């Protein structure tokens, strides 16, 4: 993978000067490269990595397995387009296997999610069935070990 993208995906707060040093490239080259990635839509934005477990009143997350009957012409895309419209839907994937869509949904409370599923999701044309799983604890998220960001303690000791 491109080393610049890899570094930015790990920590987007590195300055261009730092990135230039790490990669052994001139600073203006780094700036141009990043601008290029942004223009091409390869870099879509920069966000903070939040450990929601630690935030009081944070959202409840559920994974909903959705089975649908695909449309004749548009296949799964049409239902997907419909699902994507909801603000409650955090991520959406088409899956191979026992069900069709994996829908990650966020809500303030379990009741919010329950009502979203029963009133809005299940009623979409083409949805055959849903199975809702509430998330209890996050161990690793987006490649980040939550325990590690929680306790960044260096376990090494000085021996000599």
Partner 1 sequence: MIDYQQMLNKKIVDIKPSGIRKFFDIANEMDNVISLSVGEPDFQTPWHVRQAGIESLEMGRTWYTPNRGFTKLRQEISKYFERRFSVSYDPETQVLVTVGGSEAIDAALRCLAGPGDEVLIPQPSFVCYEPLTIMTGATPVIIETKMEDEFRLTVEEIEEKITDKTKILILPFPNNPTGAIMEREQLEEIAKVVEKHNLMVISDEIYSELTYGGKNHVSFASIDNMKERTIVVNGFSKSYAMTGWRLGYALGPKPIIDQLTKLHQYGIMSAPTTAQYAAIEALRNGDADIEEMRSQYEMRRRLVVGSFDRMGLECFEPLGAFYVFPCIKSTGLSSEEFCTRLLNSKRIAVVPGNAFGESGEGYVRVSYSYSLKHLSTALGRIEEFLKELKEEQKNND
Binding site for partner 1 (CB under 8 A): 3, 7, 10-11, 14, 17-18, 20-24, 154, 156, 158-160
Nearer to partner 1, 51 or 111 (CB): 51
Nearer to partner 1, 13 or 40 (CB): 13
Q: How far apart are CA 114 and CA 60, in angstroms?
A: 11
Nearer to partner 1, 56 or 156 (CB): 156
Shortest approach of partner 1 to residue 4 CB, angstroms? 11
Max distance between CA atoms of the chain, in angstroms, equals 71
**Using an 8 Å Cβ cutoff, are 104 and 52 in contact?**
no
Shortest approach of partner 1 to residue 152 CB, angstroms? 8
Nearer to partner 1, 3 or 74 (CB): 3
Shortest approach of partner 1 to residue 8 CB, angstroms? 11
Task: For the chain, list the strands marked E by DSSP.
Answer: 60-68, 89-94, 101-107, 127-134, 140-141, 144-145
Shortest approach of partner 1 to residue 118 CB, angstroms? 44
Task: Provide the pairing of β-strand 101-107 with 89-94.
Answer: antiparallel
Chain centroid to Cα 62, Å, comes to 13
**Using an 8 Å Cβ cutoff, are 104 and 91 in contact?**
yes
């Amino acid at each position: 993978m491109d080393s610049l993208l890899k570094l930015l995906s790990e920590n987007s707060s590195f300055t261009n000067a730092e990135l230039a040093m790490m990669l052994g490239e001139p600073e203006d080259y780094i700036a141009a490269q990043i601008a290029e990635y942004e223009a091409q839509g390869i870099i879509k934005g920069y966000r903070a990595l939040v450990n929601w477990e630690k935030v009081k009143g944070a959202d409840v997350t559920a994974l909903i397995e959705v089975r649908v009957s695909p449309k004749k012409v548009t296949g799964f895309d049409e239902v997907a387009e419909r699902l994507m419209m909801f603000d409650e839907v955090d991520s959406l994937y088409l899956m191979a296997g026992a069900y069709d869509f994996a829908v990650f949904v966020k809500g303030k409370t379990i009741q919010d999610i329950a009502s979203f599923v029963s009133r809005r999701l299940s009623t979409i044309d083409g949805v055959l069935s849903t199975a809702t799983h509430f998330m209890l604890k996050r161990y690793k998220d987006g490649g980040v070990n939550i325990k590690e960001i929680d306790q960044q303690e260096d376990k090494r000791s000085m021996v000599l």
